[in-house]
């Protein structure tokens, strides 16, 4: 049984638990501690020797190696769960969360619930009990495809996400196939592309490279290129509102696509510098998905606090 410190103390903040004590879970805890509307109450893992669990305890946060069973025992004292494990784990855990009435933000590519990209579709899905944060590459690139598609139909979108090998923990490595499938699907479902493709590259360079993302989108030849460029620039500013290290590394390029179909190719080159809360700044892949999760949680807080009667 987990005895959460301060569980009986009324709070206006959203009481949060993080499941997964690896890179993503550890980074989430540090961001949660800075939030004025979210409160980290519990870190859940399965390895008693986990560095993440030890670190949480040093920060004064309750931590347990009792797995999801321990979380469910503490469910009355939790408003929101962040799943930071693996796609396979979330597929197993999701029905149990649902039965316990817990709202979940899923940072794995399991895609159990609808996708959420805060800059694009949070308003439409914010009431859902299980929201999927897509992937780090999806959080970086789906907003750009959405920015293009709000000006012109995107017949095809392809993205390449390059991350430092050192920034890819066991969960990321175990989910490579799910990463590509989920990201490609989100390019269509949230980004608005008719077809999508995603590629991930783990770069072993030393010193590690900062996360880079390339977006290619196919649009019609008569597309208003100035409007597309302006829309992309506005979207970058929106994402920077919750991921300060997100930026374009070169101006938008719009060129003839060639081939029998003609049309134009929109090329966008992105760089994500991490906030270095947990891993160094090269781990932009870690930072963008945890920052997106925090932004989502802070914006859905009013509804959740109303549900629990706070």
Tell me the CATH architecture of domain 136-282: 2-Layer Sandwich (3.30)
- The mean pLDDT value for 110-128 works out to 97
203 annotated ligand-binding residue: no
pLDDT of 307 above 80: no
| Predicted pLDDT of residue 10 | 59
Q: Is 149 annotated as a binding residue?
A: no
Q: What are the sequence ranges of the domains in the chain?
A: 14-133+290-307, 136-282
Return the CATH architecture of domain 14-133+290-307: 3-Layer(aba) Sandwich (3.40)
Query: Is 285 labelled as part of a ligand binding site?
Result: yes
- Concatenating the DSSP letter of every residue in 82-139 gives EE-S-HHHHHHHHHHHHHTT-EEEE-STT--S-B--TTTTHHHHTT-SEEE---HHHH
In the chain, what are the helix, strand and coil shares in percent, each to the nearest 5? 40, 25, 35
DSSP line for 273-307: ----SSS-TT-HHHHHHHHHHHHHHHHHHHHHHHH
Q: What is the mean pLDDT of the chain?
A: 94
Residue 296: pLDDT over 70: yes
pLDDT at 8: 57
* pLDDT surpassing 70 at residue 73: yes
Q: Which of 28, 44, 136, 152 is catalytic?
A: 136
Q: Indicate if 188 belongs to the active site.
A: no
pLDDT in the model for residue 4: 64
Q: Tokens 């700044």, residue? A: 281
pLDDT reading at 137 higher than 70: yes
């Amino acid at each position: 049984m987990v005895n959460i410190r301060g569980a009986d103390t009324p709070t206006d903040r959203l009481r949060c638990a993080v499941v997964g004590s690896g890179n993503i879970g550890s980074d989430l805890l540090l961001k949660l501690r800075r939030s004025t509307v979210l409160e980290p109450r519990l870190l859940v893992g399965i390895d008693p020797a986990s560095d993440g669990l030890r670190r949480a305890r040093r920060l004064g946060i309750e931590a347990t190696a009792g797995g999801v069973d321990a979380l469910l025992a503490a469910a009355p004292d939790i408003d929101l769960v962040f799943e930071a494990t693996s796609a396979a784990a979330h597929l197993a855990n999701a029905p149990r969360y649902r039965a316990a009435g817990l709202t979940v933000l899923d940072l794995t590519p399991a895609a159990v619930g609808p996708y959420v990209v805060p800059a694009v579709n949070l308003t439409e899905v914010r009431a859902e009990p299980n929201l999927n944060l897509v992937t780090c590459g999806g959080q970086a690139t789906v907003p750009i495809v959405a920015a293009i598609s709000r000006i012109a139909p995107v017949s095809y979108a392809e993205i390449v996400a390059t991350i430092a090998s050192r920034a890819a923990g066991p969960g990321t490595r175990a989910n490579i196939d799910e990463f590509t499938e989920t990201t490609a699907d989100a390019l269509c479902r949230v980004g608005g592309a008719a077809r999508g493709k995603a590629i991930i590259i783990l770069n072993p360079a030393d010193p590690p490279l900062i996360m880079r993302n390339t977006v290619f989108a196919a649009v019609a030849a008569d597309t208003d290129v100035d409007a597309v460029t302006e829309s992309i620039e506005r979207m970058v500013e929106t994402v920077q509102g919750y991921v300060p290290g997100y930026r374009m590394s070169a101006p938008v390029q719009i060129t003839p696509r060639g081939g029998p179909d003609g049309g134009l190719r929109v090329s966008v080159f992105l760089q994500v510098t991490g906030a270095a809360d947990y891993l160094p700044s090269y781990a932009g892949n870690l930072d963008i998905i945890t920052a997106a999760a925090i932004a989502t949680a802070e914006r859905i807080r009013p509804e959740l606090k109303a549900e629990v009667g706070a």
